[in-house]
Amino acid sequence: MRIVLCCAGGFSTTMLMENMKKTVKESAKLNESDFDFIAIPVEMLPQEVENCDVLVVGPQIAHKIDTITPILEPHGIPYTIIDRDTYGKMDGATALKMALIAHRKANMK
């Protein structure tokens, strides 16, 4: 599963991405080889959309969701917006859980 993390510049989201990777690595149930992560600035989303299974949106660009969803919808890509508390704590476990739930819900449709 390719999880794309998207924010204003891609820098702080890279820290969250590393914590998500760490969560997968330390998990007894998840397999590292099943996951691929990338952190990008929102401007790069059109180039990455075809290589995305779920999008994780940083809270600092949540206001841009109306421009993000038209990029995702033709490809059927689910997304989740990380809340400020989870993002501020760089809580990779919660962010990963949110991404997996969004992906699962989309597959149930």
Which of 20, 4, 30 has the alpha carbon at shortest distance from 91? 20
Question: Quick check: helix, strand or coil at residue 74?
Answer: helix
Domains of the chain: 2-108 (3.40.50.2300)
Per the structure block, which two tokens stand in for 107? Answer: 């597959």
Q: What is the pLDDT along the chain (109 residues), one digit of tens a residue?
A: 999 999 988 678 899 999 999 999 999 999 999 999 999 999 999 999 999 999 999 999 999 999 999 999 999 999 999 999 999 999 999 999 999 999 999 998 7
Per the prediction, the chain carries an average pLDDT of 95
Q: Residues 34-53: pLDDT tens digits?
A: 999 999 999 999 999 999 99
Strands 79-81 and 36-41: unpaired
Question: Quick check: helix, strand or coil at residue 54?
Answer: strand
Percent of the chain with pLDDT over 70: 99
Q: What is the pLDDT of residue 60?
A: 94
Give yes or no for a contact between 56 and 92, defined as CB atoms under 8 angstroms apart: no
